[in-house]
Amino acid sequence: MTEYKISLIPGDGVGKEVTAEGVKVLKAASEIKNFNLNFIHYPFGSEHYLETGDLIPEDALNEIKKTGAIYLGALGDPRVKPGILEQGILLKLRFHFDQYVNLRPVKLLPNLPGYLCPLKNKKPEDIDFIVVRENTEDFYVGIGGRIKKGTAKETLEIRRELYKLKFDLDVVTDADEIAYQIGVVSRRGCERIMKYAFETAVENKREWVASVDKANVLTSIYGLWRETFDEVSKNYPEIKTEKLFVDAAAMFFVRNPERFDVVVMPNMFGDILTDLGAEIQGGMGTAPSGNINPGGVSMFEPIHGSAPDIAGKGIANPVAAIWAGSMLLDSIGEKEAAKLVMTGIEDVLKEGKVKTPDWGGASKTEEFGNAVVRAMKKYI
């Protein structure tokens, strides 16, 4: 029997609760489809950090490298300063494994009661597109800093020139502090994400690839982004293209999501707009993602975070995590099992009995996972 090693990082808050259901469903799917999933559990997250001071050590990354994929919950804890866990674990994994694509399907599931989509009269075929978010560049590269009292005179001098400020370098006060963060994109980085977006359109028989940027203001980085989009598009003459500014793209997500097929976005805009995408497809609890390195180790996770407002209550919606699990199965080549998981989710929705509170029900996270397993077993 084929066996796959999967690294499991439940992480924080609801991440632990929803991945527990995901693991349950994936294991059931593997039994039905006759293969073996061997989950290797890693404790990385806030508890581990608060106890040991460790985020994710190098030897763990080396071990994870030998596994077929990573299944992750969420990182983030109100007890820890924002950024420590998110950068130190989640972004570390994305960058370390060069998972340059963040694939985020925005799809209204069939059988989801109409009222769960905040857009009036939308059907599953109206909200069905794929966001290809660049995942390693842009404002996420981590170059930034704060310039304040006690900082080297040279940087203060630059600042004084830049803003035509009048201050004496020897008498700098706290009020003179500035902070900056630099966005970086590379031609290679743009080329590979554009190529992935066009290939995604071809594979999924989609007609359009839209590119989102803010090239009218952030002219350097998104000028290069746009230029590369135009160049790469020439290799795909059968695919139609459009270029949108991010503000208008946000409007179109709400006004007519049916216009989109594949949408390629820089890292930060992709992050923001896919929370909007999650809402139009039924809520944060429904939106999955894959951090993909086509030739390496990929990582699958819900797009939502650790949801401290509902964590510990056992009421988080596990659909996003289970769906991300289906994407994981697809990526390791278990296509039938991947489809079975989606059919399981859709059947539970059709039955309409098990609903977590975000969907207006009173079911627990665990009950939803169990219901998906029961639904899948009907197909043995």
**Binding partner of residue 316 among ligand IPM, Mn ion, ligand NAD, none, CB under 5 to 8 Å per kind?**
ligand NAD
Of 275, 339, 347, 379, the catalytic one is: 275
**Binding partner of residue 285 among ligand NAD, Mn ion, ligand IPM, none, CB under 5 to 8 Å per kind?**
ligand NAD
Of 140, 330, 355, 364, the catalytic one is: 140
Would you count residue 138 as binding Mn ion (CB under 5 A)?
no
Instruction: Give the C-alpha separation, 369 to 23, whole Å.
Output: 9
Q: Name the H helices within the chain.
A: 14-32, 46-52, 58-65, 84-85, 92-96, 153-162, 187-203, 219-233, 246-255, 267-280, 319-331, 335-351, 365-377
Of 163, 247, 353, 377, the catalytic one is: 247
Indicate left, alpha or beta for 304 from its phi (over 0: left) and psi (-120 to 50: alpha). beta
Where in 271-330 is the site for ligand NAD (CB under 6 A)? 284-285, 301, 304-310, 316-317, 320
Bridge partners, 147 (sequence order):
178
Closest separation in Å from C-beta 153 to ligand NAD: 36
Query: CB–CB of 101/196 below 8 Å?
Result: yes
Where in 254-283 is the site for Mn ion (CB under 5 A)? 271
Six token digits for residue 108:
């209204």
Instruction: Give the C-alpha separation, 341 to 153, whole Å.
Output: 60
Instruction: Give the C-alpha separation, 211 to 131, whole Å.
Output: 10
Among 56, 90, 130, 373, binds ligand IPM (CB under 6 A): 90
Query: CB–CB of 327/99 below 8 Å?
Result: no
214 is catalytic: yes
236 is catalytic: no
Cβ neighbors of 378 (< 8 A, separation 6 or more) are 347
275 is catalytic: yes
Among 9, 28, 60, 91, binds ligand IPM (CB under 6 A): 91
Would you count residue 14 as binding ligand NAD (CB under 6 A)?
yes
Among 10, 22, 76, 288, binds ligand NAD (CB under 6 A): 76
Task: Tell me the catalytic residues.
Answer: 140, 214, 247, 271, 275
Interface ranges with ligand NAD (CB under 6 A): 14, 18, 74-76, 82, 86, 90, 284-285, 301, 304-310, 316-317, 320, 358
